A and B are shown apart, each in its own frame.
Chain A
Amino acid sequence: MSGGTMSNGRYWIAHNAGVLTAVVLFAVMFTLYVSNHSAGLTPAVATTAANKAVLLALVAMAQTLPVLTRGLDLSVGMVFVMTNCIASAIVVGSVGEGLLGVVAVLAIGALAGFVNGAIVVWGRLQPIITTLATGAVYYGIALFIRPSPGGDVQSDIADLLTGQLFGTVPAALVVLLGVVLVIWIPYRRSVLGRAAYAVGSNEQAAYMSGVPVQRAKLLAYTLAGLLAAVGGLMLTFNTYSGEASAPIAGAYTLNSIAAVVIGGTSLFGGWGSAIGSIFGAFVLRTIEDLLFVFDLPPLWQPLFQGVVLLVAVSLGAFRILRVRNRLELFT
């Protein structure tokens, strides 16, 4: 497909145009934010911004995996909130006990994702409606554990992961980098990771070519649950408590979809990357911070945020300018 006319570099740029747009957008907005912030770019400012942004980035990464297989996970926000509540109950005590709790929370998140995947693959239900229903179940479990906000978390681990490394680098960013290196990159290079892209492009063709369709989907949903659980853990480390909040869960689910789209991943599957979603999430979070430093009247903030979101997702409409045959519009 690259052909002889396109050099490797140009092909790479064309392939990653969505991600690059998100990166540039984020760089411009963050520069604007820092240059207008009264304190400038201090480690404290960066850490506060990173701690908030990493939560959405993790949930957006989680959303990316099912979307790549042409699915969707409307329960990521609920898994995020559920693991937050569970973590606030079991990640306590000594450092060792806390670490054990962390492992348990991650396992629960992965299990929740696996259940989604199992219903989609073996139950053959549509991902949208499946995750809508399982989301209600996960939210019920969260409410069961935390009928009212509260709980605690192992403070040594929490302080380590939400503070700064060597007094400069926000630890949350290191966690995010770790997740990318340990989960996303190996997944992207694995057989099942490539299979996920194939399934997203054309499931029938992938099946006919002997691609392990079912295992690819199962793994995508399971990893989505795992990543959402990492997000839930980080939320607990930030807030030192658990809260079964439906608005928080809903907001994270919806923003994760927006972040995925801004990061250049196609909702029709088979195209995109979790790296793009991370920067999509950073863009969304920086919008909020920008409103703060520019002192926009609070009443106008929701409208401004909404308009920016709508304009950002409408950027995808530029593809219709490249369409030569009207029938291509319908795919």
Chain B
Amino acid sequence: MASQETPWIIGKVITGGGDIPVVDTKLLLADKLGSWKARWGIRRMNYRIVPRLYAVGRPSETSPVFVTANYKMSFDRLRSQLDGIDGWILVLDTKGINVWCAAGKGTFGTDEIVRRVNAVGLHKIVNHRRLIVPQLGAPGVCAHLVKERSDFHVFYGPVRAKDIKTYLQSGMKTTPQMRRVTFTFAERIVLAPVDIVGSLKYALFISACLLLLSGLGSGLYSLDRVAAYGIVNAILLLVAALGGAVLPAALLPWLPGRAFSVKGAWASLLPILGLILLAWQSPGAFRNWYSVTAWLCFIPAVTSFIGMNFTGSSTYTSLSGVKKEMKFAVPTQISVAALGLILWTTGLFV
């Protein structure tokens, strides 16, 4: 049953509910490469598998059923932790979105569980009525409604797939530590690439505008000015965007403030230090002090804005909190950026 697209399918089991593909619990190079590409935003929204029932090991009608999303990275995380376990994996159609985000949208939810249980004929394949649902699916799943509508009892398993074996050994009991979401350096830094790619799309456009506008000034449009000042301006913006995407993620616990926009603003200190060194070492890179001062506005506006958007990647920010910080952050970011633009434009013509 293995094919070029699905080399991770390594066989099949025949059941009363039809043939079920058996999947590998070892990740191949292709799986790891796929995860890496998704982390960099390459075809990330189409990194999905067919929602259906799969098997690991040699499961029987008494084997446990694990529920997951059809984002391939979620599925890979789960199956790679099931080595030596005989079980079933019920993959829901979450449109290729991971468990927690899909639960927030409701696509990983009560309706889809009931629908998928019926679609695969799970009642005929197992003789028990238990589903192990990852705890982070709970924002979309109502356990008592699933029971009422499908007869299956939802057991909320650990947050992290790596705790599954301990969870099974302890008789399907989670410890407080298994239930707790973390946001460690490693967990944060893997999210940086997709934020870099996401912000560079806009940053490249603005960089190009700055590059072209740098040719303006007294007299005719000048390509010499584009070369002398435009390139520096374009690079400064890219550095600010890169700093905004990487520094808040890397330094989150150490940046002052609780609001992400504030943390992002503090993150501007490092690129600003670079700016000051550049202006000091090679003042010729800038037209005048107006353009240097403009960057003292642009850089914190950019890092604060991108830092604020990291709330979406974080594991602990509430919607009420995000709305509260945006009420002061967005007007401030816009004002500071506008001030920068006035200074920068003045710098073109003085």
- Chains A and B bind each other: no
A: residues with CB less than 8 A from B are none
